[in-house]
């Protein structure tokens, strides 16, 4: 089937795409969106800077408009990239005990783990705190620079599509909490110093957060590729799937699906499904994998501390008990919430949502969607303990006097966090809003009465 031609936005080549009036004023048609969380089809209202459009049924944000979006994202992304460069160029943290001392760079928090035969954990650490954020920021700069100069740079659509997939795996903010917990853990035993890199990294984490919030996907995709016509006969105020439509999760455009309920977005080429294929089975499988990995994560030591020649392994729970005995109640609570409450709560919540999803009920759909949003939001914070291990292992290296080695639980726990994050991604929240077949339809489709 030939791709329908995109209707180009009314702009001249070479003219900056950024300071023109917003999408609503450049097109006479209604711009339809199908909510990504509840599948409700709505028409976007005209938005002014500082406003956002929410789904009237579930409250999911459909679009948010910023003042000068391209300049804003470009400036934030450049500043974040500079602070990341500073953060990897200077010493991160130092410690000294009894005349022995050690000073580490940011990258050593990952590279030291390789020396302890933990390459997978090392890769997870370096990807989540440095590599993926750097790729994300360079992509944002590339996209916005193209829009500012008036013609998108090469590969802009592919890059814009990958941004939303990178987003959940960037964990600079979680790493900061991990660094603070590590500092409090060792502050009583040794002298700790914060390097320039630590402060640069804090600024980087903040700027990265602001950059992700500054991106206005609706505006960006309109500027990149215009707004193709909504499929004929699309009705607002109804679910998209029964009309044979689906909203694109990446660019928002409403597309018609083929007879099997699949298709590709006409604007960004993202694959589309009426409902994610085998969503519940996949989520169950990933939850089962996470539950299996939770056992070794708690039974084996997460790190082994050697102090004055004697080594003592400690599990996640053991570490929390130790902290309480040291009197560090607040830190013990942080680790307890991040390493016990959040992963177990997320497992149980997702399992429950999988159980009730086939019996969708419009009275509970909103509260269930809120629970799902919570599990999606909190999942990554479990990585705190992995970052604490990475920092302590790299930093505390004073031979027999005091040193820390990672334990086998670190890999199991990291794998569990990743599995539960993937489980939340494969779960399709739209299932919770699907109205069950009316009794009459159920009777005609099922066994005769
Ligand atoms: Zn919705
Ligand atoms: Zn799309």
CB 7 within 8 A of CB 229: yes
40 Cα: distance to centroid of ligand 1 (angstroms): 6
Is pLDDT of 80 > 70? yes
Q: How far, in Å, from the CA of 283 to the mean position of ligand 1?
A: 21
Measured in Å, residue 198 CA sits from the centre of ligand 2 at: 39
Categorize the per-residue pLDDT at 418 as very low, low, confident or very high, splitting at 50, 70 and 90: very high
Q: What is the mean pLDDT of residues 289-309?
A: 91
Return the pLDDT at 171: 94
Cβ atoms of 348 and 424 within 8 Å: the answer is: no
The least confident of 114-123, 281-290, 301-310 is 301-310
Cα 430 to ligand 1 centroid, rounded to whole Å: 8
Predicted confidence band at 5 (pLDDT cuts at 50, 70, 90)?
A: very low
Cβ atoms 216, 63 nearer than 8 A: yes
**95-96-99 Cα angle (round to 5):** 165
**What average pLDDT does the segment 69-92 reach?**
95
Please, are residues 170 and 245 in contact by the beta-carbon 8 Å criterion? no
Mean pLDDT of the chain, nearest integer: 87
- Contact in structure between 247 and 254 (CB atoms under 8 Å): yes
What's the pLDDT score for residue 442? Answer: 39
Distance from Cα 31 to the centre of ligand 1, integer Å? 16
What band does 1 get if pLDDT is binned at 50, 70 and 90? very low
Q: Which two tokens mark 33? A: 């969106």
What is the CA(165)–ligand 1 centre distance, in A? 20
At 394, list the tokens. 């790299």
pLDDT of the residue at 27 = 60
What are the residues facing 403 on neighbouring strands? 306, 397
> Is pLDDT larger for residue 144 or for residue 439?
144
Q: Are 121 and 386 in contact (CB under 8 A)?
A: yes
Ligand showing the shortest atom-to-Cα distance for residue 61: 1
pLDDT confidence of residue 397: 84
Rounded distance from Cα 58 to ligand 1 centre (Å)? 4
**pLDDT range class, residue 402, cuts 50, 70, 90:** confident
CA distance 26 to 212: 26
What is the DSSP code (8-state) at residue 258? -
Centroid of ligand 1 to alpha carbon of 62 (angstroms): 8
How close is the Cα of 53 to the center of ligand 2, in Å? 18
Q: List b or e across 339-369, with b for residues whose CB sees 16 or more CB atoms inside 10 angstroms.
A: bbebbeebbebbbebbeebeebeeeebeebb
Supply 288's token pair. Answer: 């089962």
Q: How far is the CA of 366 from the centre of ligand 1 (A)?
A: 9
Task: Quote the pLDDT of residue 22.
Answer: 58
Q: Is the pLDDT of residue 295 over 70?
A: yes
How many angstroms separate the CA atoms of 176 and 21, rounded? 39
- Ligand positioned closest to the Cα atom of 160: 2
C-alpha of residue 39 to centroid of ligand 1, in Å: 6
pLDDT digits (tens, 9 = 90+) for 105-132: 999 999 999 988 899 999 999 999 999 9
- For the chain, what's the residue count? 449
Do residues 103 and 94 touch, judged by C-beta distance below 8 A?
A: yes
Distance CA 209, CA 51 (A): 19
Most confidently predicted of 129-133, 181-185, 189-193, 316-320: 129-133
Å from CA of 266 to ligand 2 middle:
7
According to DSSP, the residues that pair with 91 across neighbouring strands are: 105
**From the CA of 429, which ligand is nearest?**
1
Least reliable range by pLDDT among 13-27, 63-77, 294-308: 13-27
User: What ligand has the least distance to the C-alpha of 239?
Assistant: 1
Q: What is the distance in A from the centroid of ligand 1 to the CA of 61?
A: 8
Residue range 331-355, pLDDT digits in tens = 889 889 988 999 999 999 999 999 9
Q: Are 420 and 326 in contact (CB under 8 A)?
A: no
d(CA 42, ligand 1 centre) in Å: 9
Residue 175 confidence (pLDDT) above 90: yes
Ligand nearest to the CA of 248: 2
The candidate with the shortest Cα–Cα distance to 20, out of 75, 69, 53, is: 69
Q: Which two tokens stand for residue 153?
A: 């740079």
Secondary structure letter of residue 337 according to DSSP: I
Average pLDDT over residues 95-99: 81
| Residue boundaries of the structural domains of the chain | 24-68+225-273, 70-217+278-433
* pLDDT above 70: residue 16: no
- Per-residue pLDDT for 59 more than 80? yes
**Which residues are near ligand 1, the ion (C-beta closer than 5 Å)?**
35, 37-38, 40, 55, 57-58, 60
| Number of the ligand closest to the Cα of 42 | 1
Which of 99-103, 356-360, 426-430 shows the highest mean pLDDT?
426-430
User: Would you state the pLDDT for residue 445?
Assistant: 38
**Alpha-helical regions (H) of 188-278:** 196-214, 217-225
Ligand whose nearest atom lies closest to the CA of 246: 2
Task: Give me the pLDDT at residue 24, please.
Answer: 59
| Token representation of residue 68 | 């000068």
- Whether residue 427 has pLDDT greater than 60: yes
246 Cα–ligand 2 center, Å: 10
Outline where 215-278 has alpha helix (H): 217-225
Least confident of 57-61, 118-122, 127-131, 226-230: 226-230
CA of 4 to the centre of ligand 2 (A): 14
Q: How far is the CA of 220 from the centre of ligand 2 (A)?
A: 12
- Cα dihedral: 223, 225, 227, 230 (round 10): -150
Q: Among the listed ranges 70-74, 205-209, 396-400, 441-445, which one has the minimum average pLDDT value?
A: 441-445
* Distance from the alpha carbon of residue 392 to the mean position of ligand 1, in angstroms: 43
> CA separation (Å) from 38 to 12, 133, 240, 269, 335?
37, 30, 9, 22, 34
């Amino acid at each position: 089937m030939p791709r329908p031609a995109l209707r180009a936005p009314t702009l001249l080549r070479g003219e900056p795409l950024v300071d023109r009036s917003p999408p609503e004023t450049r097109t006479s048609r209604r711009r339809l969106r199908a909510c990504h969380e509840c599948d409700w089809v709505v028409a976007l209202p005209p938005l002014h800077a500082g406003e956002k459009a929410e789904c009237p049924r579930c409250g999911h944000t459909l679009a948010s408009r910023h003042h000068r979006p391209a300049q804003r994202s470009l400036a934030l992304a450049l500043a974040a990239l500079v602070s990341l460069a500073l953060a990897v160029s200077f010493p991160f943290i130092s410690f000294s005990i009894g005349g022995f001392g050690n000073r580490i760079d940011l990258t050593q928090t990952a590279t030291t783990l390789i020396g302890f035969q933990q390459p997978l954990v090392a890769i997870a650490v370096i990807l989540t705190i440095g590599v993926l954020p750097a790729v994300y920021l360079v992509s944002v700069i590339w996209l916005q620079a193209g829009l500012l100069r008036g013609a998108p740079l090469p590969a802009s659509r592919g890059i814009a599509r990958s941004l939303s997939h990178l987003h959940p795996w960037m964990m600079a903010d979680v790493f900061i909490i991990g660094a603070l917990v590590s500092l409090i853990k060792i502050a009583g035993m040794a002298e700790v110093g914060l390097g320039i890199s630590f402060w640069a990294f804090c600024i980087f984490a903040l700027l990265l957060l602001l950059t992700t919030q500054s991106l206005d996907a609706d505006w960006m995709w309109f500027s990149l590729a215009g707004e193709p016509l909504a499929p004929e006969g699309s009705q607002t105020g109804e679910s998209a799937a029964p009309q044979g439509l689906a909203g694109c999760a990446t660019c928002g455009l409403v597309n018609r699906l083929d007879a099997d309920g699949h298709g590709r977005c006409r604007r960004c080429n993202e694959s589309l499904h009426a409902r994610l294929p085998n969503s519940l089975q996949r989520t169950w499988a990933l939850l089962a994998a996470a539950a299996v990995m939770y056992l070794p994560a708690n039974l084996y030591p997460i790190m082994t501390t050697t102090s004055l020649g004697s080594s003592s392994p400690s599990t996640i729970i053991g570490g929390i008990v130790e902290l309480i005995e040291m009197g560090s109640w607040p830190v013990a609570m942080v680790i307890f919430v991040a390493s016990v409450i959040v992963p177990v709560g997320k497992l149980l919540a997702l399992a429950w949502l999988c159980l009730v999803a086939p019996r969708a009920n419009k009275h509970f759909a909103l509260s269930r969607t809120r629970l799902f949003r919570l599990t999606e939001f909190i999942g990554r914070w479990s990585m705190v303990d992995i970052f604490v291990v990475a920092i302590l292992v790299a930093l505390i290296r004073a031979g027999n006097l005091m040193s820390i080695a990672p334990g086998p639980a670190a890999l199991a726990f990291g794998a569990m966090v990743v599995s539960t994050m993937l489980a939340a991604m494969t779960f399709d929240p739209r299932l919770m809003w699907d109205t069950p077949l009316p009794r009459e339809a159920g009777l005609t489709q099922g066994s005769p009465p």
